[in-house]
Structure 1
Amino acid sequence: MYHGPRAEVLGYFEGLGFKCPPRRDVADFLLDLGTDKQAQYEVSSISSGSVPRSASQYADVFTRSRIYARMMDELHGPVSSNLLEDNEKHMLAVPEFHQNFWDSTRAVVQRQITLTMRDTAFIIGRSVMVILMGLLYSSTFYQFDEANAQLVMGIIFNAVMFVSLGQQAQIPTFIAAREVFYKQRRANFFRTMSFVLSNSISLLPLGLAESLMFGSIVYWMCGYVATVEAFLLFELIMFMTNLAMSAWFFFLSCASPDLNVANPISMVSVLFFVLFAGFTITKEQIPDYLIWIYWIDPMAWGVRALAVNQYTDSSFDTCVYNDVDYCATYNMTMGEYSLTTFEVPTEKFWIWYGMVFMAAAYVFFMFLSYIALEYHRYESPENVTLDSENKGDASEDYGLMRTPRGSTNETEAVLTVTPDSEKHFIPVTVAFKDLWYTVPDPTNPKDTIDLLKGISGYALPGTITALMGSSGAGKTTLMDVIAGRKTGGTIRGQILLNGHPATDLAIRRSTGYCEQMDIHSESATIREALTFSAFLRQGADVPDSYKYDSVNECLDLLNLHPIADQIIRGSSVEQMKRLTIGVELAAQPSVLFLDEPTSGLDARSAKLIMDGVRKVANTGRTVVCTIHQPSTEVFSVFDSLLLLKRGGETVFAGELGKNASEMIAYFESIDGVAKLEDNYNPATWMLEVIGAGVGNSNGDKTDFVKTFQESKHFQFLKSNLDREGVTRPSPSLPALEFSDKRAATELTQAKFLMQRFFNMYWRTASYNLTRFSLALILGVIFGVTYATAEYSSYAGINSGMGMLFCATGFIGFVAFTSVIPVATEDRLAFYRERAAQTYNALWYFVASTVIEIPYVFFSTLLLMAPYYPSVGFTGVSTFFAYWLHLSIHVLWQVYFGQLMSYLMPTVEVAAVFGVLLQMIFFLFTGFNPPGSAIPTGYKWLYHITPHKYSLALIASLVFGDCPSDGDGSEIGCQVMTGVPPSLSENMTVKEYMEDVFLMKHSEIWKNFGFVLGFIVLFRLLGLLALRFVNHQKK
């Protein structure tokens, strides 16, 4: 349309037949050209047929203009020697990055360490977790018997698993940092390698601190070799394992599209590490075709190095130990025998091999992270939406102004005003008188701060009232107070609806509140979101047909029909703003509050939003809107203004008048205030006048609060406030009273919430397809790994128990970590809807409970299909019983994850505390140490661990069954071979399960009842958390 000098732009378009009005921003004037708004600028003396209308017509006119010809001459003419010199001197010399590699790396490292150290909640949480788990592990295995190789290897394995699994909690932090990296890397702030190095270096102090705290407690309390060399090597190995696993999880965060994928994949990778670490299944039991996994497993190298460090000490290089002659019996020393029990090599150089491998793994994982960040970025594409009004830009015909409704070129809906007798809302006048809002002083809790000081005003039906002022003036605070959204502080003064005191229920039932942040259940479509709001927030007595009509009315008013069936996720900012307004409008409120509805939008999008708001007000609703610095076009939409200055005091309150004439006249009448210049935004000028803008500041010279209180506008405000129906009751306007806390019936709430959760889960492929795929992968992994397993020997049954422990524990842990980000994300929409009394938290709880059941049972079936027959288990009835017990176990893990997401403020905190509790559960499951070896002081922890009952159910089902009337073919009836001297020679598998692991087949139903009891407990706690915990403070 135009490309040339800014100073000539008005003259150019005036030559085409357009005139910019005196009180019009030049930018707004230019934006309106080429749209259906340009007719107001056409000069009457010029024929309407001669002015350009379509984009192609503007382009044709411009190519024939003098400005275009001059531009082309410059382009095709000889290049100025000065330009060439400037280009060589200033442009070609500009490097890709401002700083060299080392300087930028140093700066990024300093920033990353600063950010890490400032995250005190995470550091404290991690420290508490490390110390607590160190004390639990060490007191459980306190002063272990060095001759019991299984016990010693068990604590080594548990220690390595803890420092490895604990790093998984950092994935949400890594992914959040990745989003910032994408933005800054696009702008060439620094090189990708600088970012990777900064993260790798920032891991060192935390890793070292965790290793020292945890390692010191475990090493000395458990009774490892009491030499300085062995202790330092132990700490160094733990530190290297910590770093290697941190680097692995950092790589997964860089390579995964989102948290829904990264969490479950990380857990599957941990399963590989744990399974092939050399403890749950020894090296010789691993099939030859999978042995390569053992040799690339960082945990296996860590376990091996720690075991060699312990048993190669000189105190174990002896034949006789605790009256047992190992040389005579086993032809090796005590230390060599203990290591070979788990097929660990006996040479001391394996310690150094292990540390070299983990250092190499650390570097390799960081290099992979660099590759992922540099060459494959998951950057969301810009949401460019072609509105119907832009689709015809290339057309020669200007269809935007003359096309009848129903054409593809339609832009504005024809609004049919509903007769008063058919309206399902009551027009409401909102009034507030002498409002004060006081909060504790954050610097001195004994003192208080007044954020609002005696604010009075009103908003009438059919009007839009703007709340304006500088940042910190109290605009949003005032609106939150009026709308009943403040959860803290002290409120004094009166808030009235139609002259009657406003009750909390009346405010919530008769008003809609559009928050600045556009929060929705993003898996729904726009039409579904509006329908959900209409059916749950309009009265039960309103016919369904009218509710559907109101949805279509919202789509019309806000021009959402073209995208009505588009899923919300991925919508543009402007579309989300319109949807936020539509969701509240669908509730048919009498009053609509909007907090900064144009924030983050360009002038054109802001005008589209405010045009929709204008239509809403024209239906007879009262609209109150905070806005920071609107364009002239947007400012002209408002009817009234309440202007605040910093400190929460009124500077102006009253009608704006046509083109803000009343407001302009008021301020121009004040001594010392400069007149408004032509083509200057009245809103910008007004803010500058009171010292809230970026220009001159009269706010320091003039007491605008006192000036207003002495003006006729203030007297007019007081007289209007004293009218009936404003601050005094009116006989014709009864008080707004509602018999029910919520508009919809309980059945309707349950129906729509179930429908929404069904759609959300069906459309969230990253969550459900990932867990289905991983369940199948886990089943194949276990099936292949244990395909040749036998369960009649001592080593075989222990290996089988390790298999059950891993299969049960990790499929549950995957479910636990996967559901946390999903539940936390949807929690934001729940907070908004609960504040509006959209539904009872009970039905949200019920829907989130029921929807998981089919997905959990199907995912466990995918695991069971390849796993159960491959590992040597038989029996159809046992298969279905196993499937049921495993599904119930995964189900309570999902519910436990939801509970953590409801209780904790962020995903990161939920992950940290979740991992802490899961590690405690793993420790006291009854596998390592077995139930019979758990110290008496910790028996209570053993009995309250949910994993104990899940594992006991499954283990006793497949290993603990030996019916007296059977043929003895069951695994539980087999007599074990290779039994150590501490056990009886003719012990059956069933007896071993009962005596050592305390898992009895006769207690299956009792254990099943306990698992169901934990499900009920976690769901009740989840319901209480939904009802009483709110991390969205106002």
Structure 2
Amino acid sequence: MAEYDSQWAAIERLPTFERLRSSLFDNNGDVGDTDNKGKRAIDVTKLGAQERHLFIEKLIKHIEHDNLHLLRKIKNRIDNVGVKLPTVEVRYKNLRVEAECEVVHGKPLPTLWNSLKSILSVFTKLPGSKSSQTKISIINDVCGIIKPGRITLLLGPPGCGKTTLLKALSRNLNQSLKITGEISYNGYKLEEFVPQKTSSYISQNDLHIHEMTVREILDFSARCQGVGSRAGNFSLEILLKDDSVIDSLSIHNNDDDNNNNTCFWPNEEVMVEVSEREKEAGVVPDPDIDTYMKAISVKGLKGSLQTDYILKILALDICADTLVGNAMRRGISGGQKKRLTTGEMIVGPTKALFMDEITNGLDSSTAFQVVTCLQQMAHITDATVLVSLLQPAPETFDLFDDLILMSEGRIVYHGPRDHILEYFEDWGFRCPERKGVADFVQEVISRKDQAQYWYHMEVPYSYVSVDMFSRKFKESPYGKKLDEELSEPYDKSQSHKDALSFSVYSLSKWELFRACASRELLLMKRNSFIYIFKTTQLFVIGCITMTVFLQTQMDIDVLHANYYMGALFYSLNILLVDGLPELAMTLQRLEVFYKQKEFCFYPAWAYAIPASVLKVPLSFVESLVWTSLTYYVIGYSPEAKRFFCQFILLFAVHLSSLSMFRFVAAVFRTHTFAMTAGSLAVFLQFVFGGFIITQPSMPVWLKWGFWVSPLTYGEIGLSLNEFLAPRWQKVSLSLHTKKSSLFYADTTAQEQGADLLDVDSSSFNKHSAPGSSRAIISHEKLSEIRGSEDSHDGTHLDKKSRNSPPLTTIEPKKGRMVLPFTPLTVVFQDVQYSVDTPLEMRENGFTNKKLQILSDIMGALRPGVLTALMGVSGAGKTTLLDVLAGRKTNGYIEGQIKIGGYPKVQETFARVSGYCEQIDIHSPQITIEESVIFSAWLRLSPQIDTKTKAEFVNEVLETIELDGIKDALVGIPGVTGLSNEQRKRLTIAVELVANPSIIFMDEPTTGLDARAAAIVMRAVKNAADTGRTIVCTIHQPSIDIFEAFDELILLKTGGHLIYSGQLGEHSSSIIEYFESIPRVPKIRNNYNPAAWMLDVTSTSTEAKLGIDFALKYRESALYEKNKELVRQLSSPPPGSRDLYFPTLFSQNGWGQFKSCLWKQHLAYWRSPAYNLMRIVFALISALIFGVLYWNQGKKM
């Protein structure tokens, strides 16, 4: 201890600036070692990646407990010296958000003809006539307070206004929406500070650059958000180098009003104050806490310890160095992307969090862990946290302090979470014993489900509308207390200036440029294949070009002068078109750019300048490759200076091309519009470049196009560079050649050409968002909203679901399908799946050549039995589903899989099985009924007549409850068309119409609220009731959804089977099995069996209890029972035959062609944007050609 004190005393003697960056660190990296002999003084800014990882890994071993312990230690250290954390109180009063919509009568599909009629109707309207417009209230006169130090849950059905409220409070709403009312932070209006830097809105959409790893995204976010700094404060780096400056900062004053404040994490200013006060008091801090606090208080680092901390608490450390990926590149899972979206924002020094559905796609155990960390953050650091969730499990629901319940844009309840049941009981509604409170409060405000919760049997039930709930809340004690608090203005003097951000950006302009430049350089390295391919392509084209224009075939005379001109013009066009890939790459990243720009990560120039400057070497190389290949082989003037002049001009054209395509992508933003505009830009430059038609021949009123085209200046420069060479002075060129060679231009145009190309290049490097479009609403929907007959389901519920019975029972419809099918069993035994060990794992010391994903899985799936496949994240649920369905095309599969007692043959198995993807992929331009019809035409037997197919399609639509909206267009997810729940049911219908005996479903309820999930599960039960074999992987099931299944297959981490059997009534079988194992904790009353099961079988609990659940299962009587069942079902039933189909596909080539032609015809006809762009492009091209060549020809 004496040695540690002496080491600390040495650090205390350092100047303030160095002291804030010096700490004591274990030589062996062990954290929390009471033996301090191994300590060494380090500079926290120079911690390596491995040191940071080991430090966090040993500081936080068990996330729930160690994270709480760490935060408490940090809080205690700050409190002990009298420094208080800042608090941000968010108030909103009489808040109303409205959208102006154009009312359309009828619901015509967006076909090319309808779009043309709509365009023509704009021009045919009488002057002064008023269009039919209306205002829709999204949020209607709401009030509330989001208090610091408390975590608040926002609940409500889809379409109730949750997302709009979150965006309004964080000032991230679309500018087209009209906002009235008051929103304030600590008494300051939104216009008086920068709310985007004070708070963070975490979207439900996961937008990330797919070429970056998880760690790189968090590091970049931490860097841009200024981890360790407080936006708006001056830099202390220069001041802290002189200790005399500290005396003038008033940091020794213990008066609370003069205390500097901090955010979630200590910043540089706070560390100055804490360090000085500890020095005065002679306090020696915990070395690990001191190292952590100092390391995260340093701003501008490329790699931050804060990143490693966020990776750990969000359980992203296992995929930290994995690329995010997208649809075309393998990457992290959907749940990991969701957690990455959360981590990207909370890694920064924010004060308030507004989080939108952050647990979608997570299993209940992981969701509980994430919300637990947020709760600890709120309680210990006095953060302000508002979270909206879809269907939180009871244990997750209990973590919240306050609850806001919304419906139809109104607040139904805003108060303590534990008083909500008492509040509704006063209304006469009681939550059943085995019902989740979160599900109950969302269903009790719905017309369809409300009656079942009425418990005053002596009083007749009458429907209580949302408007009545809202008015009664304002009259309740909770509403009156809220009004009293809002009526008292917030005392601004209690809010220190550092609690809010008054500067738009956290870093200096130079630091912002460096951050964006380093990321752009990283992305260029990740896309190096594209640039190498482009250069190789240019090399090949150059080789072909130089053989076409070979110098041995061209003389220096009048005839061949035009050949040289053609070669020069061809070179210009090749390098112009070579920049086209830049348009696609820019489009891919635009969504992320606009998201980060709106969150004040960086300004547009900080993004655009590195994207331009770092492409200069690439343009240099590609231009040099082309010029080197073609110049002397074609036979241009041999002087070296002319070679370099041509190279510089081509280099400038290439730079201009890249900038132009970036500009087009930034302006038009969508692929259809951007590609059309890019093609038009190339066409206009080609036409007005001066080679196709010379400038004197152009109409006078179009000559401006000649001077606007960047290609003109390249053409002028190249022509003068070549034809002013000495060897051409002896040749008398014809007037036509001179005009073609642009000899009418002044000789100084050669220099001006390169300069003007540089100007064009810089002027194109601008990024601006286009104007927003107007929203439209149908007359029927407007009447429905204003009628408010039942808007619990927002704007997405169909007539069929309005007339449906309560969903909590999830009772299926009885009956058989029109088409017969053969019920089949799926039996699998000793199934194992492994892959080659990734290179990254081998480099980190993993010695096995193969990585085991599934280990000795055995089970049976039977007709008419609905089976759930569950497990924690990474247990191998989807992998097992893919192996059984035959969708794994790589890796090593071992074991036996039998269908109906016969060995599985994938070609025939694919004809009797269906697979519902987690991501609902459908053609957006066709309707629900047409999607199902297309699947039926291709997958049903050709022996079935058309009438029977049509009846079967109708029955499937009725079974899945889509017949009420069968004419609705599918649309684009999140933009137009169907809701998430309707898309999920359509996915099931598309597979069910193939009349399969077996259906695999991957997470059919992910991303849905409790009611929508119940609708989907009822559709699944309807399908299972027809005698089909159905197995579903599922995350975060409520009690009702979980107990809708008949059997369960449960996996643990590593792909080991730990349970396979029946659930029993009220999950009695699964509860009895696990409670019979010694040391396993008993389930609490009203606790979700699914959540309890995942908790007690998690890796951490398994290690804590010292139980191997996979071994316990193999030693159980249940295992022997399942083994006997598998043995019995492995033999074919008497009289059965193996599956056989005479052809590989259901339809022959002609039938497939007709079906695909029909679908493509509809898709093209209903793509007005694409078709109109083609028409506009053709019209503009024809018009320009016609005008330019007007009266240019000669009569023969």
TM-score exceeds 0.5: yes
- Whether 1:300 and 2:712 are equivalent positions in the alignment is yes
- Contact 2:429 / 2:455 at 8 angstroms: preserved in 1? no
Are the structure 2 counterparts of residues 212 and 415 from structure 1 closer, same or farther at C-alpha, using a change threshold of 3 Å? same
1:548 to 943, 947, 950: 950
After TM superposition, the structure 1 = structure 2 runs for residues 562-641 of structure 1, keeping only pairs within 5 Å, are: 562-569=964-971, 570-571=976-977, 572-641=979-1048
TM-aligned CA deviation for residue 71 of structure 1: 1.5
Tell me which amino acid in the other structure corresponds to 1:111.
R
SS of residue matched to 1:433:
strand
Q: Match for residue 1094 of structure 2?
A: 687
91 and 525 in structure 1: CA distance in 2 versus 1, 3 angstrom threshold: farther
Match of 2:831 in 1: 435
Counterparts in 2 of 1:1009-1020, with a 5 A limit?
Answer: none
* Structure 1 residue matching 2:855: 3-state secondary structure: strand
Cα deviation, residue 67, structure 1: 1.4
Match of 1:781 in 2: 1184
Q: In the superposition, relative to structure 1, how do residues 713 and 23 fare at CA in structure 2: closer, same or farther (>3 Å)? A: farther
Cα offset, 1:419, TM superposition: 4.3
Query: Residue 1159 of structure 2 aligns to which amino acid in structure 1?
Result: R
Deviations 1:812-870 (A, max 9, x none): xxxxxxxxxxxxxxxxxxxxxxxxxxxxxxxxxxxxxxxxxxxxxxxxxxxxxxxxxxx
**Cα gap change, 1:777/1:628 in structure 2, threshold over 3 Å: closer, same or farther?**
same
- Of 215-224 and 773-782, the range deviating more from structure 2: 215-224
Instruction: Flag the 1:48–1:486 CA change in 2: closer, same or farther, 3 A.
Output: farther
The aligned runs of 1:618-1017 (5 Å cut-off) are: 618-691=1025-1098, 696=1101, 698=1103, 701-723=1106-1128, 726-731=1129-1134, 733-744=1136-1147, 748-790=1151-1193, 969=1196
Is it true that 1:376 corresponds to 2:779 in the alignment? no
Please say if residues 676 and 685 of structure 1, whose CA atoms lie closer than 8 Å, have aligned partners that are also in contact: yes
Matched residues in 1 for 2:920 and 2:718: separation?
Answer: 52
Matched position secondary structure for 1:650: strand
Distance 1:680 1:503, change over 3 A: same
1:361 to 751, 760, 773: 760
**Contact 1:439–1:450 under 8 Å retained in 2:** yes
After TM superposition, give the deviation of residue 521 of structure 1 in Å: 2.0
Q: Does 1:350 align with 2:745?
A: no
Indicate how the Cα distance of structure 1 residues 665 and 407 shifts in structure 2: closer, same or farther if over 3 A, else same.
Answer: closer
Q: CA deviation at 1:204?
A: 2.4
| Per-residue CA distance 1:691-712 (angstroms, 9 max, x = gap) | 26xx855488321111110112
Tell me how far 1:390 sits from its aligned partner. 8.9
- Counterpart code for 1:429: T
Q: Tell whether 2:899 aligns with 1:488.
A: no
Return the match for 1:418 from 794, 800, 815.
Answer: 815
Can you give the 5+ residue segments of structure 1 that lack an aligned partner in the other structure? 331-335, 792-871, 873-968, 970-1034
C-alpha distance after superposition, 1:735-785 (max 9, x if no partner): 443344333466544433222121111111222222222222222222211
Provide the residue aligned with 2:243 in structure 1. Answer: none
1:107 and 2:515 are equivalent in the alignment: yes
State the aligned residue count: 765
Secondary structure of the residue aligned to 2:415 is coil
2:634 is matched with 222
8 Å contact from structure 1 (residues 339, 346) kept in 2: no
Please identify, of 51-60 and 524-533, the stretch whose mean Cα deviation from structure 2 is larger.
Answer: 51-60
Residue 16 of structure 1 aligns with an amino acid whose one-letter code is W
Find the counterpart in structure 2 of residue 813 from structure 1: none
1:255-288 deviation per Cα after TM superposition (whole angstroms, max 9, x unaligned): 2252223223322321221122222222333333
Residues 916 and 1001 of structure 2 are in contact (CA less than 8 Å); yes or no, is this contact kept in structure 1? yes
User: Which residue, out of 532, 539, 549, partners 1:124?
Assistant: 532
Report the secondary structure of 2:850's partner residue.
strand
Q: Is the 8 A contact 2:813 2:1022 kept in 1?
A: no
Which of residues 422, 428, 437 in structure 2 aligns to 1:26? 437
1:310-343 CA deviation, whole Å, 9 max, x = no partner? 3334x3475x4xxx6x5xx98xxxxx99756623
CA RMSD between the two structures: 3.7
3-state DSSP of counterpart to 1:578: helix
Following superposition, the deviation at residue 608 of structure 1 comes to 2.6
Look up the SS of the partner of 1:565 in the other structure: coil
**Distance across 2 between alignment mates of 1:152 and 1:168:** 26
Q: CA deviation at 1:351?
A: 1.7
Paired residues of 1:20 and 1:41 also in contact (CA < 8 A): no
1:1015 — aligned with what? none
Corresponding residue number in structure 2 for 1:797:
none
Q: Taking structure 1 as reference, are residues 155 and 423 closer, same or farther at Cα in structure 2, changes over 3 Å only?
A: closer
The 3 A distance-change label for structure 1 pair 576 and 691 is same
The aligned counterpart of 1:252 is: 664
Residues 60 and 79 (structure 1 numbering): CA distance in 2 closer, same or farther, change over 3 Å? closer
- 1:67 paired residue among 455, 473, 478: 478
Paired position in structure 2 for 1:877: none
User: Counterparts of 2:1137 and 2:933 in 1: how far apart (Å)?
Assistant: 30
More helix by share: 1
Aligned residue type for 1:717: N
Deviations 1:500-556 (Å, cap 9, x if unpaired)?
A: 223224321211111122222221111100122223322334343343233233333
C-alpha change, 1:563 and 1:299, in structure 2 (3 Å) is: same
Contact 2:1080 2:1105 in 1 (8 A): no
- Residue 633 (structure 1) shift: 3.3
TM-score normalized with structure 2 length: 0.59
Q: Per-residue CA shift, 1:164-184, capped at 9, x if unaligned? A: 011123322221112222333
Deviation at 1:689, TM superposition (A): 2.2
2:453 is matched with: 42
Q: Does 1:11 align with 2:408?
A: no
| Structure 2: gaps spanning 5 or more residues | 1-411
Matched-pair contact (CA < 8 Å) for 2:826–2:900:
yes
For each residue in 1:83-111, what CA deviation from the matched residue of structure 2 results, as whole angstroms up to 9, or x when unmatched?
Answer: x2355635653444444554334322322
CA distance in 1, matches of 2:444, 2:1013: 16
In structure 2, how many angstroms separate the alpha carbons of the residues matched to 1:200 and 1:291?
30
- Alpha carbons 1:462, 1:619 under 8 Å: kept: yes
Equivalent positions of 1:462-477 (< 5 A) are 462-477=864-879
Cα deviation, residue 399, structure 1: 14
Q: Please, which of 537, 544, 567 is the counterpart of residue 155 of structure 1?
A: 567
The code of the aligned residue for 2:489 comes to V
In structure 2, the residue matched to 1:531 is 933
Residues 491-502 of structure 1 aligned to structure 2 (within 5 Å): 491-502=893-904
Q: 1:201 to 1:665 in 2, by over 3 A?
A: farther
What amino acid is aligned across from residue 931 of structure 2 in structure 1?
Answer: A
Task: Find the residue that maps to 1:167 and give its secondary structure.
Answer: coil
Match of 2:650 in 1: 238
CA distance in 2, matches of 1:95, 1:33: 45
* Alpha-carbon distance, 1:215 to partner: 2.3
Q: What percentage of residue pairs aligned between the two structures are identical?
A: 32
| Structure 1 segment 161-200 matched on structure 2, within 5 A | 161-200=573-612
User: Secondary structure of the residue that 1:280 maps to in structure 2?
Assistant: coil
1:408 offset after TM fit, Å? Answer: 6.5
Q: CA deviation at 1:447?
A: 3.7
Mapped partners of 2:464, 2:444: distance in 1: 8
Deviation at residue 246 of structure 1 after TM alignment: 1.5
Higher percent of residues as strand: 2
Contact (CA 8 Å) 2:587, 2:669: kept in 1 or not? no
C-alpha contact 1:691 1:699 (8 A) present in aligned 2: no
The TM-score with structure 1 as length reference comes to: 0.68
